[in-house]
Amino acid sequence: MRIYQVVLLAVTGIVIAAIAAFILYGNGTGGKGVASIGGPFSLTDHKGQPKTDKDFRGRYMLIYFGYTYCPDVCPTALQSMTQAMGQLAPETQKKITPVFITIDPERDTAKQLNAYVENFHPSMVGLTGTKEQITKTARVYRVYFGRAQDGQEESTDYLMDHSSIVFLMNPDGEYVTHFTHATSPEKMAERLAKVVGR
């Protein structure tokens, strides 16, 4: 196993543990808390059009943060999302927008995202922005990311470390649940059908 994979798994485990602890134990008042995941964002879609969180209101969002040059984890997670969506009834699929938000805006331009998202679910939306916009969006979703430390700071051929979680947000933009990149499409589809297909 490569070092970046070990780091990715460790970071993902920590994020999942933090989310679970918050949901189970709330905000310290003894009540059951609502996870503080998600919030406003202002980005650019894979067609070069501005998009904000408000553009997705009225539909569920299945959100994944990653990057197009990711060698394995990102395409695996996006393929799982695509396969899970494909297992849902057509009317349920229409209620969900799969969203891929880059954590590598330097390389992931709208044009790059446009070519990339074509490989996945036809309704997938790719989002990019400035480094500041991406950092702010990742922060409200509690997503960790950073350039892998490989000693080649000036290289354009680099890897990114990042948490690997698929978030399900409700039509009001509120957190519902999450999946890891290792969640099977069948399990994801089963949960989506229960939540969205009601």
The topology under which CATH files domain 3-148+158-196 is Glutaredoxin (3.40.30)
pLDDT at position 24, please? 44
Cα–Cα–Cα angle for 2, 128, 145, nearest 5°?
35
Contact 89, 194 (CB under 8 A): no
Could you report the per-residue pLDDT of 127-144, keeping only the tens digit for each? 999 999 999 999 999 998
Domain boundaries, the chain: 3-148+158-196
Q: Does the model's pTM come out above 0.95?
A: no
Best mean pLDDT range from 20-24, 157-161, 181-185? 181-185
Question: What is the model's pLDDT at position 30?
Answer: 39
pLDDT in tens, 61-83: 999 999 999 988 999 999 999 99
pLDDT classification of 149: cutoffs 50, 70, 90: confident
Contacts of residue 134, Cβ cutoff 8 Å, sequence gap at least 6:
43, 101, 102, 103, 105, 128
User: Regarding predicted confidence, which is higher, 155 or 86?
Assistant: 86
160-180 burial by CB neighbour count: b if 16+ within 10 A, else e?
A: bbbbbbbbbbbeebebbbbbb
